[in-house]
Amino acid sequence: MDKKNYKYIYGPVPSWRLGSSLGIDPLSVKDKVCPFDCVYCQIGKTKCLTDKRKIFVKTEDIITEFKSLPPLEIDYITFSGTGEPTLAKNLGEMIKEIKKIKKQDTKIAVLTNSALLNDKTVREDLFSADFVAAKLDAVQDDIFQAVNKPMKNLKLETIIKTIKKFKNDYNGNSLCKLCLCRTIKNTRKNSDARRAKLFRMKFSLTLRFARKELNR
């Protein structure tokens, strides 16, 4: 696939979890938009910290681009990209429209940081996907603040509660992504060894607790 011709679609990329995954970026912005500013973010610092949903790309523009793709062998179409995909107010509409034209055996996934799951419209949008990976990096507020650097109004307790709610209400496959261990190590590599050790200990406890907490 020639990248130059596509503004909103990228890949396909191999994913250990999803197989061959074609990415759709429902934000497609120059500067990342996200309610978090994670220390490990591959896109860099969040300049636009927001939890307000809006339309970034018209659904019809995504559909037009999707229809122009060459024939591809893919397992998943994954909504992800330059920030938090659930910020796109038309995410649910995009998923539904893509479903009408995709190959029958190709599934749809969304990768989310879980920050907006408290919003009923976000949960409803995600119900249309076949697979949702909801991220949770910490269940202790100090770690959450240090690693995800969230907007002030976002409360970890609410996020955990709504991940659980979503998990119970959702018919598709969901996965709570816990992905921090190496990050803590890396971000702490310049701080003194004692502090880093403390953080790692705290994190492994966090992981165990998170699994327990979410399986309740």
Under the phi-then-psi rule, with left for phi > 0, alpha for psi from -120 to 50, and beta for the rest, what region is 196? alpha
Stretch that binds ligand SF4, among 35-43, 50-58, 138-146, 163-171 (CB under 6 A): 35-43
Q: Nearest approach, Cβ of 31 to ligand SF4 (angstroms)?
A: 12
Examine residue 117 and tell whether it contacts ligand SF4 (CB under 6 A): no
Interface pick for ligand SF4 out of 84, 109, 123, 154 (rule CB under 6 A): 84
Whole-number CA gyration radius for the chain: 18
Nearest Cα residue to 35 out of 157, 149, 161, 156: 149
Helix, strand or coil, per DSSP, at residue 24: strand
Q: Considering beta carbons, is residue 41 or 151 the nearer one to ligand SF4?
A: 41
Q: Is 63 exposed, middle or buried (0-12, 13-18, 19+ CB in 10 A)?
A: middle
Q: Is 97 in the site for ligand SF4 (CB under 6 A)?
A: no
Distance of closest approach, residue 134 Cβ to ligand SF4, in angstroms: 11
Q: Which one of residues 37, 97, 119, 130 is an interface residue with ligand SF4 (CB under 6 A)?
A: 37
Q: How many residues make contact with ligand SF4 (CB under 6 A)?
A: 11
If the CB atoms of residues 37 and 65 are measured against ligand SF4, the closer one turns out to be 37
Cα–Cα distance measured from residue 160 to residue 158, given in angstroms and rounded to the nearest whole number: 5
